[in-house]
Structure 1
Amino acid sequence: MTVFFGLSFAELSALAAAVVLVLARWLPPGARRASAWAGAAAFAAAAIVLAVLGIRWQLVPVLAGGGTALTFAAFSVLRRRAGRPVRRARWWLALPGTAACLALILAGAVAAWALPRPVFPEPSGAHAVGTTVVQWTDPDRTETATSRTEDQRTVVVQLWYPAQRDPAARRARYLGRTPQEAQLVAQGQAGYLGLPGFILDEAARAHTRSAPNAPVAAGGGRFPVVLFSPGLGGVRTQSTAWAEELASRGYVVAALDHPYDSAVVTLTDGRTIRTRVAATGDQTEDNRRAAGWTAVRAADLSFVLTQLGRLDHGEIPGLLTGRLDIRRAAATGHSLGGAAALQAARQDPRFAAVIDMDGFPRDPTPQPFDQPVLALTHDVKPGEEPGYLPRLTQMLQLSTATSYRLTVPGSAHLTFTDAPLFLPPLPALVGSLGRTAGPRITAAATAAFLDAALRGKPGDLAATLSGYGHLTVL
C-alpha cells in the first residue's frame, strides 16, 4: 500500500534507512555508531521484505546507495570486532562517495514519485463495474495492413458495464487479461514512445476498479452504449478510469484495439500484433497515412456497433444479451480516435452523438451530419498548432445539431487519458492539473454531455460544461 511519495511502507523504510547509513559517517562520534547500527538493521529488514514482495526497478538505486554505505559500515564493524584499528577515510575522500550514494537514493525516490503504480479513482455512480474482452472478425473487410488476401479485419474490444456489487470480487488488471499480456502491452507502449521497456512496469502491475466477467446489474433495463477509439498507437485500456466512471453511471463502454495501429494487440490464438504505424517525416505523406488509418478506425467503430446489436439480440453469446440500447449509441475517441469518431458518425447515422477528445479532424470529404458533438481540447497556447482549432470548428459547424468545443485550462494532450495517473507530472506531457483532476474533469464533462444527448436529461448543458473550461457553443 502506498503511504507517501509513491512508496510503500517497506520502500519508505528502505529509503530512510539508506539515508541514515550514508549520513552516519558525518555525525558526531557519540551518535555515529548507534545511527549506523539502527540504519543497518532497518535497511536489512526492509530489503528482506522487498525481496519477498518484489522489488520495483525504481528502488534499485535506493538499494544500491544504501547497500554501498552498509558495506563500509559492516567492514568497520568487522575490523573492530577483530581487534584491528578502524581507519576512517579523510573527509575530502569520503565526500564524493557520500554525494554519489545520496544521488542514487534521490534518483530512486524521484523515479518512484514520477512513475508510480496507477491508483484508479473509485467510480462515483450507483453501479459496480464489470469488464469483459471479446474479439470479432469482420467477414466483409480484408485486412489492409497485410499482404495476405485471406486475412480479414479483426478487432479486440473491451467492455465495461454496470455490474452487481460483490465486495469479494477480484479486480481486473489494467493493461491486459493476464500478467503476460499486461507486460507485453506495457513494453509495447514504452517502445512506441521510444522508452526502455521497463519504464511502464508499474502500470503493468496495476489493477482497476472493475471485476472481470461480473454479473450484469439487475433490473432488466437497457444501457446506452459508448464506443471508444484510442489515440494513435494507443490501446483499448488507455482511458480505463473514464470508462469505469461511465459504466458506474449506467453506460456500456466498448473500447477498441485496432490491430497494426494500436501499440500491441494480443489475439485469442496467441498472436501478438505490434503497430506498423510510423511517421515518414514528410508532412503530406503523414497526413495521407493518418487519413487512411482514420478511415479504417471509423469502419471498425461501425462494425463493432453492428456486433453489439447482434450481441443484444442473442446472435452472439455474451453477458449483455438483451441489455444494450443500440439506438442510444455514441462514437467517441481520443486524438486520432476522436477523428475516427467524427468520421464514423458522418458515415453511420446509427450513432446518436460524438465525443472528440483532442482529435484533429481527418475526414477527407467532410459533409453535414446530424449528431451533436462535444470536442474537448487541450489548452492551446497562442501560435501553437494554428490549424487545429479552425479545422475543428469548421467540422463542428457542419453538424446540424448544437455542438460544443470545451478547452480545459491547464490541460495537455494526454490529460484526457489515464496518463496523469502514472506518467511524470510534467505540464507539457500530462498538463498541470495533477494526478487525478484530468481524468475527473474528462469523465464529468463527457457524462454531462452523454446524459443530455443519449438520455435527454433536462438542464442547461452549456452552463454545466462551462464549469470545466472555456466553452464555445456552435
Structure 2
Amino acid sequence: MRQLLAVAAGLAVLAASACSAPAPPRAAAKPSVTSTGPATLPAPTGAHPVGTTALYLKDTSRPDPWNLDADARELKVTLWYPTKRRDGQRAPYMTPKESELMLKGLRIGGVPDDTLSKTRTNAIKDADPAGEKLPLVVLSPGFTKPMSTLTSLAEDLASRGYVVAGIDHTYESYATTFPDGRVAECLACDSDTDSGFGTGVAQIRAADVSFVLDQLPAKWDGSDRIDRSRIAMVGQSIGGAGAVAAMLKDSRVRAGIDMDGSTYARIPKSGFTRPFMFMGSPQHIPGGRDNSWDRDWKLLAGWKRWIVLSGAEHQSFTDGPLMAGALGIKPPYGVLPAARSVELTRTYVAAFLDQHLKGQRQPLLDKPSSRYPEVKFCPATCGQS
C-alpha cells in the first residue's frame, strides 16, 4: 500500500510509502518555488540543553536480513540526551552523501545534492550527558527514511529530560553511513512488494530494538543515567508498526506510540495491556483507508488513545514539512503548517511519555482541547470539523 510521504499532494515527491519501493529515478524536476536556503530545526521546548552522539553496534547472533553477504546485523544508533553544555559544535543533520542519496531516492531535483546536510540542528555533538535515572525512548523512522528525519522530535524529548535512542535500520533507508566510510543503501526497497513484507519488516525492527536495549549498558558511557524500568518506543509509519511488534516481543518496552503507520504484528486475542497511543492523519479515522487501527483498537486492553490530526499528511509527524522550503516546495492550502505539525507532534508525544514514564497525569490526553482544535479523539470525535 502506497502512503504519501508529503505534507500534501504538492510534497508527494518527498517520499514513497511506508512499505512500497520508490519509483525508478527520473529526470530531476525544477522545484515549484525557489529554495529558501538551509532548513533550521525549531528550538527544543524543554529546560535542558541537548547533547547527541552516535553508536555503532554489531549483532553477531544473526545475519543481516537484507544483505546476504553480511553474517552480522550492523546498526547505527543516535542518542540524544540532556546536557549542561550550551555551546559547542552542532551535530550534522546528515552527511552530504546521505543528502545526495536521499534526494535521489525521493526523486527531488533542482536543488544542490547536499541541501539536506546543511540543515541546522540544536544538539551539541558528543556533549557530556547530565541528569540521573532518566526514562529512555526508542525512536524508529519510516521505511526508506534515515533516523535523522525524526531529529526535531528527538531533540525536544531530550530537552524535556529523556534519553532518546534513534535506530537507523540498515538497508531499509536510502543511506546509512558507518565509521569506516561505508554507506549502506536501501536493499529492502527491492523487496517491498513481496507478500508479508510489512510483517517481516516489523519483526526485524523488533529484533533491532531488543538488541539495542541489550547493548546500551555496555556501549554508552552515559548508560548509567538511564532508568531501565522506564522504556517506551515511538515510531513513524513502519516504525510505528515496529513499536507494536517490539512491545509484543520485549516486555522491557512499557509503552508505545504509532505515528501514522499501518500495523502488522498481530496482537493476541487475549489482548494487550500496556499503554499505547495511535496518532495519525485522517486516513486513520475509523473506517478509513487503513483498517489496521480499527482491528487492533479492539485488542488494546489497557490505557489507550486514538487521535487524528486534521490537515495532517503522512510526514506531518516527521521533519519532512520543515524541509519543504529548502527543497523549493510550496505546500498547498489546507495542510497543517510545518511549525504547527511539529508543535502538535511534540506536545502529544511528550504528554503520553510524561504520563506513562514519569507518572505525571496529563489532562490533555483525556479530551479534546481548545488550544489544539486539530486533534480529534477517536472514535468519538473523528470526522468532526
Query: What is the TM-score when the length of structure 2 is the normalising length?
Result: 0.82
**SS of corresponding position for 1:238:** helix
Residue identity opposite 1:117 in structure 2: P
8 Å contact kept, 1:191–1:197: no
Report matched runs for 1:21-420 at 5 Å.
110-113=33-36, 116-148=37-69, 151-166=71-86, 168-175=87-94, 182-196=95-109, 198=111, 201-217=114-130, 219=131, 221-278=132-189, 285=194, 287-308=195-216, 311=217, 315-318=218-221, 320-364=222-266, 366=268, 368-380=271-283, 386=289, 388=290, 390-420=291-321
Rounded Cα–Cα distance in structure 1 between residues aligned with 2:297 and 2:112: 38
Residue identity opposite 1:233 in structure 2: T
Residue identity opposite 2:321 in structure 1: P
Residue identity opposite 1:456 in structure 2: G
Flag the 1:381–1:340 CA change in 2: closer, same or farther, 3 A.
closer
Runs of at least 5 residues in structure 2 that lack an aligned partner in the other structure: 1-29, 381-385
Q: Which residue of 1 aligns with 2:14?
A: none
Q: Which residue of 2 aligns with 1:470?
A: 376
Deviation of 1:278 after TM superposition, in Å, equals 2.7
Deviation of 1:471 after TM superposition, in Å, equals 0.9
Rounded Cα–Cα distance in structure 1 between residues aligned with 2:278 and 2:187: 28
Flag the 1:196–1:407 CA change in 2: closer, same or farther, 3 A.
same
Superposed CA RMSD in Å reads 2.6
Q: Deviations over 1:292-344 (max 9, x none)?
A: 12211111111112222xx2xxx3352x1310011111111100110011111
* Structure 1 ranges of 4+ moved more than 4 A: 197-200, 279-282, 364-367, 381-385
8 Å contact kept, 2:136–2:164: yes
8 Å contact kept, 2:202–2:239: yes
Flag the 1:465–1:132 CA change in 2: closer, same or farther, 3 A.
farther
Residue identity opposite 1:303 in structure 2: F
Deviation of 1:459 after TM superposition, in Å, equals 4.0
Deviation of 1:382 after TM superposition, in Å, equals 8.7
Query: What is the TM-score when the length of structure 1 is the normalising length?
Result: 0.67
Flag the 1:384–1:185 CA change in 2: closer, same or farther, 3 A.
farther
Deviation of 1:375 after TM superposition, in Å, equals 1.1
Rounded Cα–Cα distance in structure 2 between residues aligned with 1:261 and 1:331: 19
Rounded Cα–Cα distance in structure 2 between residues aligned with 1:459 and 1:230: 26
8 Å contact kept, 2:137–2:164: yes
Q: What percent identity do the matched residue pairs reach?
A: 32
Of the structure 1 ranges 417-426 and 332-341, higher mean CA displacement relative to structure 2 is found in 417-426
Rounded Cα–Cα distance in structure 1 between residues aligned with 2:191 and 2:357: 40
Deviation of 1:365 after TM superposition, in Å, equals 6.2
Q: Which residue of 1 aligns with 2:363?
A: 460
**SS of corresponding position for 1:380:** helix
Deviation of 1:132 after TM superposition, in Å, equals 0.2
8 Å contact kept, 2:97–2:114: no
Runs of at least 5 residues in structure 1 that lack an aligned partner in the other structure: 1-106, 176-181
Q: Which has the higher helix share?
A: 1
Q: Which residue of 2 aligns with 1:98?
A: none
8 Å contact kept, 1:448–1:464: no
Rounded Cα–Cα distance in structure 1 between residues aligned with 2:262 and 2:284: 16
Flag the 1:382–1:445 CA change in 2: closer, same or farther, 3 A.
closer
Number of aligned residue pairs: give it: 343
Q: Which residue of 2 aligns with 1:426?
A: 331
Residue identity opposite 1:224 in structure 2: P
Q: Which residue of 1 aligns with 2:18?
A: none
Q: Which residue of 1 aligns with 2:8?
A: none
Deviation of 1:465 after TM superposition, in Å, equals 6.1
8 Å contact kept, 1:449–1:461: no
Residue identity opposite 2:336 in structure 1: L
